[in-house]
């Protein structure tokens, strides 16, 4: 393909979460943790896999700027090359061709004429896993892990109780249970003994002090509605102030940003931020690689809230995508 820029796209995928071909679609990187395939006995390292979204077709300046630097041409010339590249892709796919991006994936049209993307399963854009390949392991036959943790000469723990011990314990427990059922317990039989003998040697002294304190409490006289003028004496009540404690509430943590664009010019980024601010949002300017500035419409604690806001704002602003905070 003339003016092929797939090599530039591959380079950007190693350092960016989203690379957009203006007028065609965008590649998105998703993190995949390490995994084990038991059927094939393979260990797979952590990876960043590529997916494609044809709705991300706006010009964020990232790809055109990279083409301009790699070919040492002006920004307008790089925009012209990128536009022709996207137009040529659409024509080839519409003719039924399979367009292969080496180490990225394959494009083709389905029966309805829509673009389908099949990623390259062997491509890994996670720099932390650079040089790591899937490792095959062979299960060890006849390996008993208990032999590794048990000391020599020890016997395995028994899984059950010997039946002779069970019979002996049952012979002792059954008569005791019969006696408890046959002879009902009388609470007053034990209560008199407990009153006479206290387990706490200081209980009598403490009880006497409590009684003395109650006798010395102030008395409030209240005259009721009784015609005889009866006076009722009520001990004074000491009010205890209520103590409340404030439990600090964790501040909301922003994990996802709704990105409205990435600009080479800070002035353009500020203009987008002003547009979002006039719409009621609280935009934020964020540094991006290669000297670009991203404009975040707002931050959200979870992906569901970010996608909901994206659906609302997409009616006015095109090319929105969600960035996860590192």
How many structural domains compose the chain? 2
In a domain, 245, yes or no: no
| Predicted local confidence at residue 224, as pLDDT | 41
Distances (CA, A) of 66 to 21, 61, 294: 12, 9, 16
How do residues 39-91 score in pLDDT, each as one tens digit? 888 888 999 999 999 999 999 999 999 999 998 999 999 999 999 999 999 99
In a domain, 170, yes or no: no
In a domain, 82, yes or no: yes
How do residues 267-317 score in pLDDT, each as one tens digit? 988 999 999 999 889 899 999 888 889 999 998 999 999 899 998 888 888
Q: Is the pLDDT of residue 236 over 50?
A: no
Domain closes at, from 85, 118, 136: 136
Domain closes at, from 96, 117, 136: 136
Query: DSSP secondary-structure letter at 137?
Result: -
Q: Which helix (H) or strand (E) holds 117?
A: strand 115-119
Average pLDDT, the chain: 78
Phi, psi for residue 204 in degrees, rounded to 5 = -65, -40
Domain closes at, from 136, 158, 182: 136
Q: Which domain holds residue 17?
A: 6-136
Residue 66 belongs to domain with CATH number: 4.10.520.10
Residue 304 belongs to domain with CATH number: 3.30.70.1070
Torsion of CA 29, 32, 34, 38, to 10 degrees: -130
- Rounded CA-CA distance 284/280 in Å is 13
In a domain, 93, yes or no: yes
Q: List strands edge to edge, sheet with 35-37.
A: 35-37, 42-44, 135-136
Alpha-carbon Rg for the chain in angstroms:
39
Secondary structure of residue 316 in the 3-state scheme: coil
Which residues have CB under 8 Å from 125's CB, separation 6+?
Answer: 13, 14, 29, 47, 48, 49, 50
Taking a C-beta distance cutoff of 8 angstroms, is the pair 60, 67 a contact? no
In a domain, 161, yes or no: no
How do residues 83-137 score in pLDDT, each as one tens digit? 999 999 999 999 999 999 999 999 999 988 889 999 998 888 988 887 788 888 7
In a domain, 181, yes or no: no
């Amino acid at each position: 393909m003339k003016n092929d820029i797939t090599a530039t796209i591959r380079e950007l995928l190693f350092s960016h979460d989203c690379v957009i071909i203006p007028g065609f679609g965008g590649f998105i990187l998703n993190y995949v943790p390490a995994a084990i395939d038991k059927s094939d006995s393979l260990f797979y390292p952590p990876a960043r896999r590529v997916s494609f979204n044809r709705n991300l077709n706006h010009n964020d300046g990232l790809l055109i700027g990279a083409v301009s630097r790699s070919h040492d041409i002006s920004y307008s010339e790089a925009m012209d090359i990128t536009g022709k590249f996207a137009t040529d892709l659409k024509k080839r796919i519409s003719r039924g061709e399979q367009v292969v991006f080496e180490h990225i994936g394959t494009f083709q049209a389905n029966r309805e004429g829509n673009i389908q993307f099949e990623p390259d399963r062997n491509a890994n854009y996670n720099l932390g896993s650079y040089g790591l390949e899937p490792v095959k392991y062979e299960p060890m036959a006849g390996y008993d892990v208990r032999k590794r943790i048990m000391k020599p000469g020890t016997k395995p723990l028994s899984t059950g109780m010997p039946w002779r011990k069970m019979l002996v314990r049952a012979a002792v427990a059954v008569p005791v249970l019969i006696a408890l059922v046959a002879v009902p317990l009388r609470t007053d039989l034990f209560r008199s003994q407990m009153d006479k003998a206290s387990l706490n040697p200081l209980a009598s002294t403490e009880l006497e002090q409590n009684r003395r304190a109650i006798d010395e409490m102030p008395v409030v006289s209240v005259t009721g509605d009784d015609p005889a003028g009866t006076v009722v004496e009520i001990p004074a009540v000491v009010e205890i102030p209520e103590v409340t404690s404030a439990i600090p509430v964790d501040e909301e943590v922003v994990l996802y940003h709704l990105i409205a664009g990435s600009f080479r010019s800070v002035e353009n980024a500020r203009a987008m931020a002003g547009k979002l601010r006039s719409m009621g949002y609280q935009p934020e300017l964020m540094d991006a690689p290669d000297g670009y500035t991203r404009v975040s419409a707002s931050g959200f604690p979870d992906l569901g809230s970010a996608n909901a806001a994206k659906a609302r704002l997409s009616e006015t602003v095109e090319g929105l995508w969600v960035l996860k905070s590192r």
